[in-house]
Amino acid sequence: MIDLRVRGGLIYSPEAPIRSDLLVRDGVIAALVGPDEEVTAAETIDADGLVVLPGLVDLHAHMRTPGYSHKEDFRTGSMAAAAGGYTTWVDMPNVDPPTTDADTLRDKRELALEESLIDFGHFASGSNPETIAELAKAGATGFKIFMIGGGYPHDDRIAASSDADLWQSFEAIAPTGLPCLVHPFNQALFDLFSEKELAAGRPRTFHTRAEIYTNRDVVWSSAVETAIHFHDELGVRLHLLHTHAVGSIARIRAAKARGLGVTAAIDPKYFHLTEEEMQRLGPRSYHGAWITGDERRLETIWNALADGTIDIIDSDHAPHTLDEIAHMNVDAWKAQGGSPQYDDLLMVLLDDVNRNRLPLATLARLLTENPAKLIGHYPNKGSLLPGTDADIVLIDMEKTTRLTDDRILSKAGWTPYQGRNVKGAPVRTISRGRTVARDGQIVDGPEMKRRARFLGGVAQFKDRSACRPVRDSAS
Ligand SMILES: [Zn+2]
């Protein structure tokens, strides 16, 4: 008996879009069949005119729990994600206590199993070489290293603040075969440039800081250079985050051309928010304005997305309260920066597709297949192949939405894209065969209790020759 038939949609598979019906049994994709195939199904969803993608897989969540649950928790964060088309999230270790050993990892997993609506994993801190082995054994999905410090959310307790720290972390992580995500950042240069600007009498506002943090290419690209070099020496499976500097993109492209196992992600706030939005909306939309004002840099980013230099679009879903980010205007060096993304991000990106900035097939790979491969859960996640989890998102490419705070399910309750009109929206999210969100609303019930599964670490890269770019690895 088939539980669910998704009828008449246009399915985006890695090769080419196909018009086919999806059959689901026991939370798993049972088969793809033609529209005329006679099958008895308990439920049929009409997907005529809709695009069918694998549920989105995000490798950059900040669920803020434990420690900062006034910003977000596993329930609200997973609701926002599900409504936004995601069926898998993996979060970062900068919580309180930070995820630095087996106990903190287990405690966090237990909380998330209780609260999350959808499947998930946890990246543990990779900055403490002495606990790497126990974290791998306890099931960490991978590791995250912050080369940046300076205070929460860039918690100094888990910062790798020197080359020696980074080297020792890579050395400890490489034998686990797990992915190592790095926020590349030259903290010493950033501190130097900051000191000079502030000594010259510039105000401590976001504008002064962003000219260094966002605009000084060398602050990012020199760290990317070091991380790639250490990867080449030690063989750790390196995945670089926040890839938006021209110099970083050039170095990653060159490393891939040499056959190194380096992948990269970008989070869209960096190439989406505009100066106009910054003027109109203030701190909530600060992050990207300088980049979208720089045509050469924007073009470099779009080209890197199109040619596979950037492998993954992640969310950096990073909620804070509006009061907290307002501090950006007072002292940006001590303020907490970041924005909730899950509710709106896919719509912003579908709007890009509708504006011909990138093809839907490319976007699908960046949001589903590539992230699932990096954590070793492809094709069970990130595909619609028979025998894999029935994680599905149905998309209406014609639907228009005005992005406003009142629609937001994230506990933070606001969107950095406030007031934008976008075309293209997820209309239904299915997690292992069960509808969890429809038209931006959560479909909840007692049967959803403790339904989420934890995606533990899969050792893929112990053999150095297996450290190849995601797009070239066997599927
Ligand atoms: Zn982040």
Q: How far is the CA of 33 from the centre of ligand 1 (A)?
A: 40
Q: What percent of the chain has pLDDT over 70?
A: 96
> Residue 8 has which token pair?
């008449």
Determine the Cα–Cα distance for residues 439 and 420; give it in Å rounded to an integer.
18
Q: How far is the CA of 77 from the centre of ligand 1 (A)?
A: 14
Measuring CA to CA, which residue among 452, 435, 457 is closest to residue 444?
435
CATH 2.30.40.10 in the chain: give the residue spans: 2-52+389-397+422-445
CATH 3.20.20.140 in the chain: give the residue spans: 55-386+454-472
Cβ 74 vs Cβ 63: under 8 Å: yes
Per-residue pLDDT tens for 420-457?
999 999 999 999 999 999 999 999 877 778 899 999 99
Per-residue pLDDT tens for 234-275?
999 999 999 999 999 999 999 999 999 899 999 988 888 888
User: Could you tell me if the ipTM is greater than 0.90?
Assistant: yes
Residues 6+ apart with CB under 8 A from 202: 208
Measuring CA to CA, which residue among 119, 115, 3 is closest to residue 54?
119
Task: Give 435's strand partners.
Answer: 430
Per-residue pLDDT tens for 373-428?
999 999 999 999 999 999 999 999 999 999 999 999 999 999 999 999 999 999 99
Q: How far is the CA of 44 from the centre of ligand 1 (A)?
A: 39
Q: How far is the CA of 316 from the centre of ligand 1 (A)?
A: 5
H or E segment and range at residue 51: strand 51-54
Q: How far is the CA of 61 from the centre of ligand 1 (A)?
A: 7
Q: How far is the CA of 296 from the centre of ligand 1 (A)?
A: 25
Task: Assess whether pLDDT exceeds 50 at residue 367.
Answer: yes
Residues in the chain: 475
Q: How far is the CA of 39 from the centre of ligand 1 (A)?
A: 45
CATH number of 2-52+389-397+422-445: 2.30.40.10
> Residue 464 has which token pair?
């150095």
CATH topology of domain 55-386+454-472: TIM Barrel (3.20.20)
Measuring CA to CA, which residue among 218, 216, 210 is closest to residue 273?
210
CB atoms inside a 10 Å sphere around CB 371: 29
Determine the Cα–Cα distance for residues 121 and 240; give it in Å rounded to an integer.
18
The whole-chain average pLDDT of the chain stands at 93
pLDDT score for 68: 96
Q: How far is the CA of 268 from the centre of ligand 1 (A)?
A: 12
Q: Which residue has the higher pLDDT, 279 or 48?
A: 48
CB atoms inside a 10 Å sphere around CB 44: 14
